[in-house]
Chains A and B, each alone.
Chain A
Amino acid sequence: MLPPASLQEEPPRAAVGELGRLAVELLRRGAAPRAYEAAARKLNIDIDTVQHGVEGLTYLLTESSKVMISETDFQDSIHVLGFSDELNKLLLQLYLDNRKEIRSVLGELAPKLPSYHNLEWRLDVQLASRSLRQQIKPAVTIKLHLNEKDDQTAHVLQTDPSTLLHLIQQLEQALGEMKTNHCRRIVRNMK
Chain B
Amino acid sequence: MELSAYAQGGWRLLGDPRRFPRRAYCALLRAALRSLLLGHCREGLDDPDLKDIDPTVLKHCHAAAVMCILEAGKQKADISAISTCLEDCKLDKERIEQFCTEYQKNKDALEILLGSIGRSPLHITDVSWSLEYQIKNNQLHKTYQPSYLVTLNVEENSDSGSHPDVSFSCTMEQLQDLVGKLKDAAKSLERASQM
Q: Give the interface of A toward B (CB within 8 A).
A: 66-68, 103, 106-107, 109-116, 118-121, 123, 125, 129-135, 137-142, 144, 146, 155-161, 163-168, 170-172, 174-175, 177-178, 183, 186-187, 190-191
Contact = CB atoms under 8 A, between A and B. Distances in A.
Nearest to A191: B144
A157 B123 contact: yes
B185 interface: yes
Contact of A158 (B123, B131, B139, B177): B123
Contacts of A68: 141-142
24 contacts: A107-B139, A115-B168, A116-B178, A119-B178, A123-B189, A123-B192, A129-B115, A129-B118, A131-B74, A131-B118, A132-B76, A132-B111, A138-B192, A144-B152, A146-B166, A155-B166, A158-B121, A158-B124, A163-B125, A163-B126, A165-B186, A167-B152, A183-B131, A187-B144
A184 B56 CA distance: 75
A140 B181 CA distance: 12
B185 A140 contact: yes
B127 A170 contact: yes
Contacts of B114: 131-132
A146 B117 CA distance: 30
A170 B143 CA distance: 27
A171 B74 contact: no
Given A157-B124, A168-B182, A138 B172 contact: no
Q: Which 4 A-B pairs have the closest CB atoms?
A: A116-B170, A132-B114, A159-B124, A158-B121
B85 interface: no
Interface residues of B, number: 56
A148 to B, nearest CB: 8
Chain B binding surface SS class:
mixed
B194 interface: no
A177 B135 CA distance: 18
Interface string B174-195: 1111110111111011001100
A116 B129 CA distance: 13
Given A121-B181, A175-B172, A132 B124 contact: no
B131 to A, nearest CB: 5
Contacts of B154: 157
A67 B141 contact: yes
A172 B73 CA distance: 41
A77 to B, nearest CB: 16
B162 interface: no
Given A115-B169, A170-B129, 5 more contacts: A110-B137, A114-B168, A133-B75, A146-B168, A178-B146
Contact of B184 (A107, A121, A146, A163): A121
A106 B143 CA distance: 11
A16 B126 CA distance: 58
B167 A114 contact: yes
Given A123-B185, A123-B188, A157-B154, A134 B168 contact: no
Nearest to B170: A116
Given A113-B169, A155-B166, A171 B118 contact: no
A183 B145 CA distance: 12
Nearest to A122: B185
B140 interface: yes
Given A133-B76, A174-B129, A107 B143 contact: yes
B146 A175 contact: no
A129 B120 CA distance: 11
A21 B18 CA distance: 102
A118 B124 CA distance: 17
